[in-house]
Structure formats: C-alpha cells, structure tokens
Amino acid sequence: MTLIPMPASIRISTGGFTITDQTTIIIQNSEPEMFALGNLLREYIEQHTGLKLEVTTEGQEPGSIQLQLNENMTMDAEGYRLVIATDSVHLDANYPAGLFYGLQTLRQLLSMHPARSAPFHLPAASIQDSPRYRWRGAMLDVARHFFRVEDVKRFVDLISHYKLNRLHLHLTDDQGWRIEIKSWPKLTEIGGRTQVNGGGGGFYTQEQYREIVDYARSRYVMIVPEIDTPGHTNAALASYPELNVSEEATDLYEGTTVGFSSLSINMEITYRLLDDVVRELAALTPGPYIHIGGDEARSTPEPEYRQFIKRCQQIVFAHHKIPIGWSEIGDAELDSRTIAQAWVGAGYQGAKEQGCKVILSPANKTYLDMKYDASTPIGLDWAGLISVKDSYDWEPGSYIEKLEESEILGLEAPLWTETVVTMKDIEFMAFPRLAGLAELAWSPKDRSWEEYKGRLAKHGKHMEALGISFFKSPDVEWE
C-alpha cells in the first residue's frame, strides 16, 4: 500500500473490485453536499480511467460504490470506514468530512493501478480511519509574494488530498496588505501594490476572498486569516500617515528584513484600525479563528507589546472570534481560549501556563521555506536545512519541551514566500515534505522513516499524476 497518510487501521484481503463503465456511484440522498461528494468521486475516477460514471440516489448494490452517512457514535467526526469487496465498495462516515477523507484514500488506491489501462482494479480492503490531531494545517504567506486565487485553490486541493483541514493565510506583512478592507481602502490601494523584489503585488477583493473561503469549505479546509501585528505592519503604515506617530507615511518596502515596523501602541487610531479590520474579516470568516501575528515585534517596547496583545485579543473576542498568535504572545496576559503557535523560542510556555492550547510549527522541522539541502535553488536556511527525512522523522507529541499531549491542538507547516514566487515554487518547497507532515498530523504515532521511505518512493507516481512539481529528494529511491 502506498497510502499517505497511512490509515489508522487497514486489513487487506485477496481479490478486489473492478471499476467498469457499468459501475454506479450511489449516494444516500440528493442533498447538495452529498451530490458534490459523489461528483468529486466521479471526477477522480474519470481523471484516472477516462470512464464517466453515473451518480445516482438509487440503484443496485452489486457493481456500485456507495457513499453513506450514518450515526455511528463510535466514529470520530472526521473518521470514515471504507470496505472494498469484490461486488461493491462501501464508504461511510458520521459527517461529510469523513466521506471526503475516505474519497482521498480511494483516489490513492485507484492510482496504484496504471492510468487509462483497464481493468481498473481496487484491492479488497477494510479500512477504519480517523485523525490523530484535530488541527492539521498548512500556512501560505501571500504577503511576501502575492498568489492568485487560482493558485490558492490549487494549494487547497493539494493539502486537502493529504487530509489537512486548515489553511492559514498570512495576509499582511511589511511588503504588502492583501485583503480589501472597505473602511480603510488605502490598505490595499497603496499597501497592496508591492511585494518582495518588486513585480507589483496584488490583493484579494472581499468577493475573491469569499470565493477562496467557499472553495476551501468544499474541500473541508477552514481558512484561518492572519493580520500580523504589531510588527510586520509597514504596508499599513505606508498607506495611512495618521497611523504613524510622526504623521508621515513610511515608504513602501520590498526588502526582506524583519522587525523594523510597529503600530503605534499609544495612539487610539491603532485600535480603530484593528477593530474595523477584525470586524470586516470576521464577517468574511465562517471559522472561529483570527490570527493576530504577534511575532518578531522588535520595534515595539516590551511593556507596550504586552499591553497591545491584551487589547488586540479583546478586539478579536468582541467580534466573536478566537485569537491565535505566534509564540511571543505567551509573554503577554492571555485569555485561556487564545491559542499560541510555537515556532522558535520558549514563548509558548507562557501561553501554556495560562491554560492556552498550542499549535506546533517548530521551524527546524515544519518550515517549508527552509532549503532541503545546500543546493536547493530557492528557500532560506536560518532554521537549518530540512531534508525529507528530517521533516518526517520526529515525534510531535514529545518534540517540544514541557508540553503534554493534551495541550497540543495539532500541527501546522508554514510556507513563507520571500524566495517563493510561482505555483511551481510552492509545490517544490511543499512536496514531498508536506505529505509526510500530514502523516504526522493524521496517522497513529507508531511509524518509521524506513517504512515511510519505501512508501513514498512508490507514491511519487501518484504525485506525478496529480501534476505536483515535487522535489525528487535523494533520501528516497524513487520508483
């Protein structure tokens, strides 16, 4: 089996199910969400086999693939059961998300057989699956370089195929403001024009952003928007002179230095800005979280930083959302519902001591913008080189000091884009590392690099079939 992530439990038997042009996809009812799932399966099968199957709510069980929701209380909210027998295939789950994950497994099983060469065989198997962690995320920095809606959608497709369920979008930074805020239009009119090393930048209108949110939702991915504060704010400070103590706008910035900008902590206009931004963002965000950044605020004096985080947190709660912040927020007074994202340093411990849950993004394991090795043409190396083996061969439950399993919400892999310019660059830095990190977030903890390495070697063909421009790491003997 070449499945990634590896299911929690899998039993293989002999024989299998053969897909022909007579096979039907039977969905339990004609609710739009069920139809959408049935059609997704139809698409996956057509892409691989060329066969166009019928999606129907009625039909004979023999010769069909059945998608069913049940209320089996013992199954996890994202879990599924997939039974492939010789005469039929049954996929069931408590919730649609589980069906979606079952379909991803089915898609990978299908691709073990060569494309377009009948008979299309699925191996007989019984799979019971559910995730280890609730938070399984990737982050895309659309501020350092801007990426079009189409690129973000493709990224959603790829991460959701590996059963990740959160896409954190880093929407603002020194080099660009990427989300339209109607009450502060210059944030994008001026602050959206630039990006690292020039080339124009860009931003999402609220309508485009909604399109991303809806698309992600159809792939069971929650968008987590980040407005980075109080540092990493030059794009905003360049857009509105009145946000600066000097009352003069800063210059737009296209370099890569961090830590030079800060909102003015003692000016009321700063909090009017934040209140408006969070209100508009909350209205665009069906998920419960808004990320407030909080990292590398090297130009904000410490006491003021603490005061700022406390107030910013209250603004997010006032708009009925839960704040998330990078490690450093642990130095401030936090509400226990706030979530800390550990990347480097011990800041998260302050958050943990205040009862906050933690998302793991250790830079030297999960940062997708680090080079694989010294010859990687793009990427950074400040957190070290991260080979495919390095990114897979660690145990999230015990890697970060002084964190209990129950304090860990899950795992997230950030892709910062100072050196990442195109969709191909995104895919090259993310894959195959992100597939392995997805396994760390989804699969049970007994695993080994030796076994995974062999599985990944076979899985390369599947990534090729998905058109992923992945790094052919020398750690793996690709088949």
Which parts of this chain interact with ligand TNX (CB under 6 A)?
258, 295-296, 326, 343, 367, 369, 380, 416, 418
* Of 44, 28, 39, residue with least CA distance to 93: 28
- Of the residues 54, 211, 296, 407, only one is catalytic, namely 296
Give least dist CB 161 to ligand TNX, A: 25
Give the bridge partners for 25, in sequence order.
55, 65
Q: Considering the complex, what minimum distance in angstroms separates the CB of residue 20 from ligand TNX?
A: 50
- The answer to whether residues 3 and 14 touch, using CB atoms and an 8 Å cutoff, is no
In whole angstroms, the minimum distance from the beta carbon of 293 to ligand TNX comes to: 7
Helix axes of 268-284 and 302-318: crossing angle, nearest 10 degrees: 40
Q: Is 405 a catalytic residue?
A: no
Closer of 7 and 396 to ligand TNX (Cβ)? 396
Least distance between ligand TNX and beta carbon 108 (Å): 31
Query: Residue 138 CB, nearest distance to ligand TNX (Å)?
Result: 14
**Closer to ligand TNX at the Cβ: 45 or 143?**
143
Shortest gap between Cβ of 383 and ligand TNX (angstroms)? 7
C-beta closer to ligand TNX: residue 348 or 416: 416
- Least distance between ligand TNX and beta carbon 263 (Å): 16
The 3-state secondary structure of the chain reads CCCCCCCCEEEEEEEEEEECCCCEEEECCCCHHHHHHHHHHHHHHHHHHCCCCEEECCCCCCCEEEEEECCCCCCCCCCEEEEECCCEEEEEECCHHHHHHHHHHHHHHHCCCCCCCCCEEEEEEEEEECCCCCEEEEEEECCCCCCCHHHHHHHHHHHHHCCCCEEEEECEECCEECECCCCCCHHHHCCCCCCCCCCCCCCECHHHHHHHHHHHHHCCCEEEEEEEECCCCHHHHHHCHHHCCCCCCCCCCCCCCCCCCCCCCCCHHHHHHHHHHHHHHHHHCCCCEEEEECCCCCCCCHHHHHHHHHHHHHHHHHCCCEEEEEHHHHHCCCCCCCEEEECCCCHHHHHHHCCCEEEECCHHHHCCCECCCCCCCCCECCCCCCCHHHHHCCCHHHHCCCCCHHHEEEEEEEECCCCCCCHHHHHHHHCCHHHHHHHHHHCCCCCCHHHHHHHHHHHHHHHHHCCCCCCCCCCCCCC
| Partners of 341 in the β-ladder | 326, 359
Task: CB nearer to ligand TNX: give 38 or 293.
Answer: 293
Decide: 436 and 391 in contact? Cβ < 8 Å.
Answer: yes
Which residue number, 175 or 443, has a Cβ lying nearer to ligand TNX?
175
Q: Is the dihedral of CA 48, 51, 54, 59 positive or negative?
A: negative
* In the complex, minimum distance from the CB of residue 380 to ligand TNX, in angstroms, rounded to a whole number: 5
Q: Give the shortest CB-311-to-ligand TNX separation in angstroms.
A: 20
Closer CB to ligand TNX, residue 174 or residue 180?
Answer: 174
Q: Which is nearer to ligand TNX, 81 or 291 (CB)?
A: 291
User: How many CB atoms lie under 10 A from the CB of residue 249?
Assistant: 18
Decide if 89 contacts 102 (C-beta within 8 A): no
- Output 129 or 369, the one with its CB closest to ligand TNX: 369
Amino acid in the structure at residue 316? V
φ and ψ of 348, to 5 deg: -60, -25
Nearer Cβ to ligand TNX, position 111 or 361? Answer: 361
Return the active site residues. 296
